[in-house]
Chain A
Amino acid sequence: MSSSCRVFGAGICFVITCIFCKSMANSLPELSPQKYFDTLQPGKASLAYFCQTGSPSTSVFLEELKEAVKPLQDYGISVAKVNCVKEETSRYCGKEKDSMKAYLFRGNILLREFPTDTLFDVNAIVAHVLFALLFNEVKYVTTPEDLQNVENALKGKENIIFSYVRAIGIPEHRAVMEAAFVYGTMYQFVLTTEIAVLESIGSEDIEYAHVYFFHCKLVLDLTQQCQRTLMEQPLSTLNIHLFIKTMKAPLLMKTEVTEDPQQVSTVHLQLGLPLVFIVGRQATYEADRTTAEWVARRLLGKAGVLLLLRDSLEVNIPQHANVVLKRADKGAPLEFLVLHDVELIVSRVENTAHGGEIGENENDAAEEADIDTQDDEVAETVYRDRKRKLPLQLTVELTEETFNTTVTASDSMVLFYAGWQAVSMAFLQSYVDVAVKLEGTPTVLLARINCADWSDVCTKQNVTEFPVVKLYKAGRNPVSYAGMLGTEALLKFIQLNRISCPVTVMSVREAEEYLSGEFREDLASSAGVSVLGLFSPVMTAAKEYFSEAGKYLQGYVITGIYSEEDVSILSNKYAATLPALLLARHKEGRIESIPVAGSRTQDLVQIITDALLETFDELLTAGKVSYFSVDSASGIILSFYRLNSQNGLFVLRLTSLNTVYKYTHCPLFRKKTPVGRGILQAYFDPVPPLPVLVLVNLHAGGQVFAFPSDQTITEPNLILWLKKLEAGLENHITILPAQEWRPPLPAYDFLNMMDAASQHPTRKVPECTKEIEVQENDKEQHEDRSATRKEPAETLRIKHWNRNNWFKAAKKSLRHDKEVICHPVS
């Protein structure tokens, strides 16, 4: 069963339409039932709306139906309004006035009936009608298994175009159906409205429609997954068309190009996509070809990639250039580039691809970065939030007069901030949150002082930057809070400061309580970890060191000390050699022991801090990521997986690797850690389905390695992979950019403006002697060096970045500078 129009093919349909459109455009024929059925031709589809005469409630629908006449005719589907007159009753004429329906016929066979409310607008009408006609070409799936079955069935045979739309009948659905109408014979279309199906292929983004191209035709091994390419443009008929066309094009447009790149034209250019020529040599053909294919794979759907052999080319290509970029815009010159990384090529193409994009991004180029526009996220968000009233009354506002009396009268925490400073004000919100959470539980007085008003007080308290939090306790020196500037961390600090550490544990029983988290249960739960130092009574020095460390870590971790005669009971039980630390991880119900013989205060602090880090696996959520210190690891294994999935288990087992490979693993729970998605996107394009396991080499080169997706993540596989990786047998998927953080935008060059405005510029030119010129040249060279900013000179020569304007200006000003030095000698 295939639609009639499919037989004609799209082209023919078009011709027919054009003939029709002159006479019948947008007019909805009104027929009597009898007349209507007479006009039906065999094999031809027709949509008819049966209505009672003069029923007003249907006028909106009729408007939409009228709209749909033309598009449907484009697909060879006629549309009619059938008036159910009394004398000619038909079974399609409903009995009641308001239950009229539309019917789809092929020939005179009824295919479907539609209640009018499903055909709510023209898009819905077209979508539904095509959906009904293309029943076979477009498979509707509801479960991931269905999709898998389709995929399996087509491996090695046909490519799949998979699309997800939020609902049937919306414009995106129509776009997909229209594409299916044209390409249905070439590709298997699969449609779903189920989020679960979408998620099963690694996308969580249910807000939008998606189109994926599954490259199944090339797959020979049935156990292998089809490669997928996500269409990145907004879902519209035209974009799908372009997308499919580029997918259809061979990976490498031509194996090698011998003509002038300026003359080369492929489907990509016609589609407004750029062409990338990888410049190679005959001698290195194989390697160049591999590179080109690699680039092509990365640029699939974004650009055409061709291999260019320098030797077999008559046209001259600049010597260093290894990539030639040809934009789609007519007359745009070729860009000769020196790019040593695939990623650079990809990003270049993406950045220059504006011209080729169709739809929402057209105004991108027009968006000039404005140096008067705030680009500091903290400053901007605080500014936007300025009108919201915070429950500031929950914290005590201090003044010069009240400061000393307040902090000496009771245990107080004071936030030093400046009303005009964004970071302070952002933190003030968290601070007030803490006050809200602590309301009614008088643990510590929460106070604040605005250093913009009381700068003397702040200076006296040795506060020279903002924000600063200090804890004032009777009889103790004020302690500066050194933790994360957020509600939870500060709350924990306050809680843990309620007991002074280390706690002296008096008996084995108490020690067990302490380790199980029963001792001060409220605190233990917020601490997460309790540390117990075990010492025999004679180890006075070690005890002293531990006490110091405990005091130092006051507020960040609960520490206890046990050094009674029967300490061996505990040390035996937990297989610890004295002196030792017992680490009770309350959430996991785990107790570890760490021998600390010979450790001094500083070492102990380090040991405890490190131990804390390991437990923060799950704390990498936005609020707690601060505990993630890159210094502690040479490489980080990140595993991205869905919470509650069985994959979570292996992560825990992986801990055993830490000692062997010195890798710290930091699983990211994507639901909890939305930023994880951003990270994934930085590593992958497109983002593969979960689970994904990645090793990031943060210090040595910034390579990112991905665990092969065709292997199951098991411990042996992982260890094998890590070994191969260490042996240098694995290729990285990407390298993290190593660029310095430079000014995001230029500044106003007032010096230049002042010069331009002044009739008598501040320079004294004429008497400059040659001697001075030499000096000038020196400086210029120096200047040049700084202007290039360590980037390869070639890149700069070819392309000027906007940001260099400043430096040009700076250079100019430096020249003036020297002219000032060149005052008249006499």
Chain B
Amino acid sequence: MGLSAAAPLWGPPGLLLTIALHVALSAPPATPLAPRPQDYCVLGAGPAGLQMAYFLQRAGRDYAVFERAAGPGSFFKRYPRHHKLISINKRFTGKVNAEFNLRHDWNSLLSHDPRLLFRHYSRTYFPDAHDMVRYLGDFADRLGLHVLYNTTITHVTLDRDRQAWNGHYFILTDQKGQAYQCSVLLVATGLSVPNQVNFPGSEYVEGYESVSVDPEDFVGQNVLILGRGNSAFETAENILGVTNFVHMLSRSRVRLSWATHYVGDLRAINNGLLDTYQLKSLDGLLESDLKDLAILKDSEGKFHVTLKFFLEENNTNQSADSITLPQDNSDNFAMRVAYDRVIRCLGWNFDFSIFNKSLRLNSGNPLDMKYPLIRANYESRGSRGLFILGTASHSVDYRKSAGGFIHGFRYTVRAVHRLLEHRHHGITWPSTELPITQLTNSIIRRVNEASGLYQMFSVLGDVVLLKENATAFEYLEELPLLTLPQLETLTGKKAENGLFVINMEYGKNFSGPDKDVFFYDRSVGHTEDAWQSNFLHPVIYYYRQLPTEEEVRYRPPYWPLPRPTAIHHILEDFLTDWTAPVGHILPLRRFLENCLDTDLRSFYAESCFLFTLTHQKLPPFCQQGYLKMQGLASTESLRQHGVESRLLRDYAAMGRHPKASSQEPGDHGPVSAPLAPGSPVQSLDSNKEEL
């Protein structure tokens, strides 16, 4: 299977819950007590559960969080096994913008309390997992979240009831037999079941979850690790210095996060083994499908790798020594050496076991039980009102974005909460309505500071809904992109006059496990090449009307959204600072202008005054500022620059060559507006030789 073990590093607790579940199941069921009604039930007090609890609490909702352990975040007490989180804790960015800084803080949850930022909990760039436990504890306490600790939900079932919000209640039963009746169930139990692959000899394999983390136990041994994700490399890293060698076996090639731009792939901090392998030390990486393998234990207790095929050939139980080994046929077989230990680091699966069949919660693929199947709005495909949050919701953007990790799902949780607020409480998606002149500004502001857009690139996007005649717009933040066709029902907003979607994207064909991401011309510097930008950069989609379900479903491959009417890429920027007046803002304005068929330039009051008396219509900026007596005055120095740039007319020197600055036809103030000769409006668009 070769799935990475990224989940443990960020994933919410759940494993212990599962272990407890087994205990509970084996005990005779207690007599059920009267169910306690609850609007919202959250399963699991890990990062995602607490994050949802926070939003529910702030909104004043009736909710409870159920946690098996005695405190939040118990997963992190054990995992990652070596206690080093690989989510960065960047305490300094040189900026003070709190929203921007969240882009580089991968551990904090969202809250209004600035003390609840992870940088106050650890000074380490890759922090210790125990700090996460401490942080989550504080988060729950400080914010007074309703968490029922030591409450193991052993069974979840459905109770149909027309009165219920969703036509049914979720009935949760805990280990004491106490039942809870929930209108909405939010499952944030993470991935808690170690992924196991069955092959002959798999019983000899030790699991990541239980293998010793003491390097002393590996001194002078030959070690084979199955898997090639972060947990495999983390395990290898720990013992590299004391073993004879470490071999790592996986189905497919290693995926390096810096090549794939996916944080769940192998992070550079763990990849010491790649180094020793390529330098021809004794360690090495091999690719093979685990399902074809078999492991044999010889009389000395050492393990040999062979093929299932040979085992079947010989059928029946023969002693290990008599079974054919690959090297018998091919004497240079790579894994012909005997191993002292075999360790399995194959990642984790969601625990489906507590959910009654009636909930129809499944992975959609019997061969891959990693994630439950959910919709773009994080709701289970099987039952309305059942949402999957946190790591377990990663199926939406697995291997693409950050939805499986704290720094990603803290935003998807917020999105789910906003959807719920509208669905059940009639509160429309929060938005700001602004005049159209602020459109460029709003977009520039968001792409420069928004963290949700940045982390959850290509999954969450901002949406600009245009008002009639495009004189104003509403700005909605961080909507799950693929819910766009249902935008009106999900958010309670109207999208009748066209819309923009603001997304962040890497260049197509830039990222991939086999891609060279350091090639010479990897970055683009000219605005006309912006569409070829490779690094994460803002992309704006313009649609005349909401895309339909069908358009979304049949969108072009590798497109996060269906084909728009027009598209704009803001040129990638080395500093991720998209505020360059000509490099970033000007092309964006031109794009918006051409989509809206209007003129979005800003003008000084003097120009507006001139337009007022020489045109029947005014550009939006003058309408929305000047005509409301809020025109922008120029200062002496600005005026002078204006005259030098020929954007402002020097009236004192006018009249001499009225034609000298006249332009191409159609280049006047309002496009193609024929003006009286020498009208200064022409100069507003005049070309400048210098910049």
Q: Residue A552 at the B interface, CB < 8 A?
A: no
> CA–CA, A352 to B99, complex, Å?
53
Contact stretch, chosen from A364-372, A470-478, A513-521, A582-590: A364-372
CB distance from A155 to the nearest CB of B (A): 26
The stretch of A275-283, A542-550, A732-740 that contacts the partner chain? A732-740
Task: Report yes or no: B563 in contact with A378, Cβ–Cβ below 8 A.
Answer: no
Question: Contacts of B434 on A, CB cut-off 8 Å?
Answer: 464-465
Using A485-B631, A741-B617 as known contacts, say yes or no to A418 and B685 having CB atoms under 8 A apart.
no
Residue pair B632, A486 in contact (C-beta under 8 Å)? yes
Of B97, B599, B652, which contacts A743 at CB under 8 A? B599
The contact string, 1 if C-beta is below 8 Å from chain B, for chain A 625-644, is: 11111110000101000000
- Whether the Cβ atoms of A381 and B634 lie closer than 8 Å is yes
Contact, CB under 8 Å: A739 / B617:
yes
A479 within 8 A of B: no
B616 contact from A622, A675, A736, Cβ within 8 A: A736
Q: Is the CB of B616 within 8 A of A750?
A: no
Find B673's partner among A369, A489, A737 (CB 8 Å cutoff).
Answer: A737
Tell me the residues in window 624-642 of chain B with beta carbons closer than 8 Å to chain A beta carbons: 625-635, 637-639, 641-642
**Cβ of B575 under 8 Å from chain A:** no
Residue of A nearest to B626 (CB): A626
Contacts A232-B659, A379-B585; A681 near B678 (Cβ below 8 A): yes
Say which one of A47-55, A86-94, A714-722, A814-822 lies at the interface with B: A814-822
Q: Can you list, as one digit per residue, whether each of B521-565 has a CB less than 8 Å from chain A (1) or not (0)? A: 000000110111000000000000000001100111001001111
Picked from B614, B629, B642, the residue with its CB within 8 Å of the CB of A380 is B642
B666 touches A803 (CB 8 A): yes
Tell me whether A376 and B586 are in contact in the complex, defined as CB-CB below 8 angstroms, given that A465-B434, A678-B654 are known contacts: yes
Verify B590–A746 contact, CB threshold 8 A: yes
Which of B9-17, B245-253, B397-405, B643-651 touches A? B643-651
Contact at A744–B653, with CB atoms within 8 Å? no
Cβ-neighbour of B603 out of A378, A382, A677, A814 (below 8 A): A378
Known: A372-B586, A810-B566. A739 touches B672 (CB 8 A): yes
B268 on the A face (CB < 8 A):
no
Are B679 and A682 in contact (CB-based, < 8 A)?
yes
Query: How far does the Cβ of B441 sit from chain A's closest Cβ, in whole Å?
Result: 6
| B96-A454 in contact (CB<8A) | yes
Is the pair A739, B673 in contact by a Cβ cutoff of 8 Å? yes
Q: Which of A613-658 contact B (CB under 8 A)?
A: 620, 622-623, 625-631, 636, 638
A681 touches B680 (CB 8 A): yes
- Inside 8 A of B615's CB, which chain A residues have their CB? 702, 736-739
User: Is A710 interfacial (CB-CB < 8 Å)?
Assistant: no
Question: Which of A234, A350, A747, A820 is the most central at the interface, judged by chain B CB atoms within 10 Å of its CB?
Answer: A747
Q: Determine whether B418 belongs to the interface, using a CB cutoff of 8 Å to chain A.
A: no
Residue B486 at the A interface, CB < 8 A?
no
Q: Determine whether the beta carbon of B649 is less than 8 Å from that of A351.
A: no
Instruction: Flag whether B593 is at the interface (Cβ < 8 A).
Output: yes
Whether A487 is near chain B, meaning CB under 8 Å from some CB there, is yes
User: A748 → chain B, closest Cβ, in Å?
Assistant: 6
A205 touches B601 (CB 8 A): no
What's the nearest-Cβ distance from chain A to residue B161, in Å? 40
Contact with B along A664-708 (1 / 0, CB 8 A): 000000000011111101111101000000001010001000000
Give Cα A423–Cα B600 distance, bound, in whole angstroms: 13
Whole-angstrom distance from the CB of B392 to the nearest CB of chain A?
A: 31
Cβ of A526 < 8 Å from any Cβ of B? no
Contact B674 A741 (CB under 8 A): no
- Contact present for B663 and A466 (CB under 8 Å): no
Does A110 touch B at the CB level, under 8 Å?
A: no
**In whole angstroms, how far apart are the Cα atoms of A734 and B564 in the complex?**
43
> A421-B441, A762-B563 in contact; A377/B590 too (CB < 8 A)?
no
**How many A residues touch B, CB cutoff 8 Å?**
137
CB < 8 Å: which of B98, B594, B660 contacts A360? B660
Q: Is the CB of A361 within 8 A of B659?
A: yes
Complex Cα–Cα for A534 and B562 (A) = 67
Nearest-CB residue, chain B, relative to A700: B616
Chain B residues positioned under 8 Å from A488 (CB to CB): 633
Q: Does A264 contact B (CB under 8 A)?
A: no
Chain B contact residue count (CB 8 A cutoff): 122
- In the complex the two chains form, is A747's CB within 8 Å of B587's CB? yes
The listed residue (B96, B605, B660) touching A623 by CB distance below 8 A is B605
Assembly CA distance A146 to B445 (angstroms): 64
CB of A482 within 8 A of CB of B685, answer no
Contacts of B688 in A (CB 8 A): 373-374, 380
List chain B residues, Cβ under 8 A from A810. 565-566, 594
Give B648-683 interface residues, CB cut-off 8 Å to A: 648-649, 651-660, 662-667, 669-681
Q: Confirm or deny: A540 has a beta carbon within 8 angstroms of a beta carbon on chain B.
A: no
B634 adjacent to A350 (CB under 8 Å):
no
| A741 and B589 contacting across the interface, CB-CB below 8 Å | no
- A377-B604, A743-B594 given as contacts; is B448 within 8 A of A420 (CB)? yes
Name the CB-closest residue of A to B592: A747
Bound together, the chains give a CA A744 to CA B600 distance in angstroms of: 9
B438 at the interface (CB under 8 A from A): yes
Contact of B655 among A205, A365, A370, A627 (CB under 8 A): A205
Residue pair A369, B663 in contact (C-beta under 8 Å):
yes
**Interface stretch of the complex, out of A125-133, A214-222, A340-348:** A340-348
Let me know if A679 and B614 touch, CB within 8 A: yes
Residues of B within 8 A of A210 (CB): 656
A484 touches B630 (CB 8 A): yes
A295 vs chain B, min Cβ distance (A): 14
Q: Which of these binds chain B: A3-11, A175-183, A427-435, A723-731?
A: A427-435
Is A741 within 8 A of B590, CB to CB? Answer: no
B531 to chain A, nearest CB (A): 4
Asked if A484 contacts B605 (CB within 8 A), the reply is yes
In the complex, which residues 69-92 of chain A have their Cβ closer than 8 Å to any Cβ of chain B?
A: none
Would you call A823 and B670 a contact (CB within 8 A)?
no
Q: Is the CB of A429 within 8 A of B635?
A: yes
Contacts of A455 in B (CB 8 A): 97-99, 445, 449
The stretch that binds B, out of A26-34, A383-391, A402-410, A561-569, is A383-391
Q: Would you call A487 and B630 a contact (CB within 8 A)?
A: no
Q: Across the two chains, which residue of chain B brings its CB closest to A684?
A: B676
Q: Looking at the complex, which one of A353, A374, A737, A742 makes contact with B675 (CB distance below 8 Å)?
A: A737
Q: Which residues of A contact B435 (CB under 8 A)?
A: 465
If A741-B669, A748-B528 touch, whether A674 touches B590 (CB-CB below 8 Å) is no
**Which residues in A have their C-beta under 8 angstroms from that of B633?**
427, 430, 484-489, 622-623
Instruction: Please name all residues of chain B whose beta carbon is closer than 8 Å to the beta carbon of A422 when the two chains form the complex.
Output: 581, 602
Would B432 and A464 count as touching, CB distance under 8 A?
Answer: yes
Mind listing 26 A-B residue pairs with CB under 8 Å? A205-B653, A207-B653, A208-B657, A232-B658, A346-B676, A371-B587, A377-B642, A426-B604, A452-B445, A484-B605, A484-B629, A629-B627, A676-B651, A687-B655, A738-B616, A741-B617, A741-B619, A741-B620, A741-B669, A742-B670, A743-B597, A743-B598, A748-B527, A751-B566, A791-B672, A801-B672
> B: which residues have CB within 8 A of A?
95-99, 432, 434-435, 438, 441-442, 444-445, 448-449, 527-528, 530-532, 550-551, 554-556, 559, 562-569, 579, 581-582, 585-587, 589-591, 593-594, 597-599, 601-610, 612-620, 625-635, 637-639, 641-642, 644-645, 647-649, 651-660, 662-667, 669-681, 684-685, 687-688, 691
Closest 8 CB pairs of A and B: A486-B633, A347-B674, A420-B579, A674-B651, A762-B556, A743-B593, A741-B599, A208-B656
Kindly list 10 other residue pairs between chains A and B, CB separation below 8 angstroms, not including A452-B97, A751-B563. A360-B660, A364-B663, A375-B685, A420-B448, A489-B633, A625-B606, A685-B678, A698-B613, A744-B667, A810-B566
Q: Which residues of A contact B (CB under 8 A)?
A: 203-205, 207-208, 210, 232-234, 341, 343-344, 346-348, 350-353, 357, 360-361, 364-365, 367-385, 388, 399-400, 418-423, 426-427, 429-430, 433, 452-456, 464-466, 482-489, 620, 622-623, 625-631, 636, 638, 674-679, 681-685, 687, 696, 698, 702, 734, 736-751, 753-754, 757, 762, 764, 786, 789, 791, 801-803, 806, 810, 813-814, 816-817, 820-821, 823
